[in-house]
Structure 1
Amino acid sequence: MELIQLTPHLDVDPSQPLRAPGDILLHAYLIPSALNPAQLARRTGISARDIKAFIDDTRPITPKIAIRLALALDTTAFYWLALQARYDLEREKPVVRAYRPLVD
């Protein structure tokens, strides 16, 4: 039994601006809920330093962190991992295009 059906062309709306998962965490969850990183740290068991690193975009959201955020913020872990994956993929596109192999 499949819980999620993924297709090879699963994509997001390209008209939406690229935002870091930490930016979304801050503006869509912390600020509206009047939470600071220390309060979220107590709710999730994630260190406040790590939460600040997500917000500052100096650390990616891992599966373990995604599960903790999902439980505390009434989302899913997949949501956080999808945000991180989209962000990582979009940031790598210019790098990969620069190294495109020549076709004979």
Structure 2
Amino acid sequence: MNTAPIKRGLPAMHPGELLREDIIPALDKSKTEIAKLLGISRRSLYDILDEKQPVTVAMALRLGKLVGNGPVLWLNLQRNYDLERAQKALSAEIEAIPTLHAAATLT
């Protein structure tokens, strides 16, 4: 069984990039107003937009409600981003770990 990740050519996107480049400009509201609508500080929003902080479950709920697409997209973006970064950072260590297989049982 092949467990290698599928490569699609593009690196995983931090959710802050989507917010910064597409969502906030389309909403036609200031970042200060967006932060207020989300119930968070401007600093928290700017940290996400600058890709310095992850989108947490609570933030995904807030963003999903604000833009009407639910939390799953935001969580998936963050998960894929984190996974790709960890795979790059830990590739040598992960490669050294053997893959074990359960012994077949006789029936």
Tell me if TM exceeds 0.5: yes
Q: How far apart in 1 are the matches of 2:72 and 2:49?
A: 19
Gaps of 5+ in 1: 1-8
- Cα shift at 1:18: 2.5
SS in 1 for 2:21: helix
Equivalence map 1:69-80=2 (5 Å):
69-80=63-74
TM-score (normalised: structure 1): 0.78
Q: How far apart in 1 are the matches of 2:54 and 2:38?
A: 16
- What residue number does 1:101 align with? 96
State percent identity of aligned pairs: 27
Query: Larger C-alpha radius of gyration, 1 or 2?
Result: 2
**Runs of 4+ off more than 3 Å:** none
Question: How many aligned positions are there?
Answer: 94
**Which amino acid is 2:54 matched to?**
P
Q: How far apart in 1 are the matches of 2:53 and 2:72?
A: 18
- Cα shift at 1:26: 1.1
- Cα shift at 1:17: 3.9
Equivalence map 1:1-104=2 (5 Å):
14-99=8-93, 100-101=95-96
- The answer (yes or no) to whether the contact 1:46–1:65 under 8 Å persists in 2 is no
CA shift in 2, pair 1:70/1:14, >3 Å: same
**Which amino acid is 1:34 matched to?**
D
TM-score (normalised: structure 2): 0.77
CA RMSD of aligned residues (A): 2.2
Q: Summarize deviations over 1:81-104 as a string: whole Å, max 9, x none.
A: 00000000111111221212165x
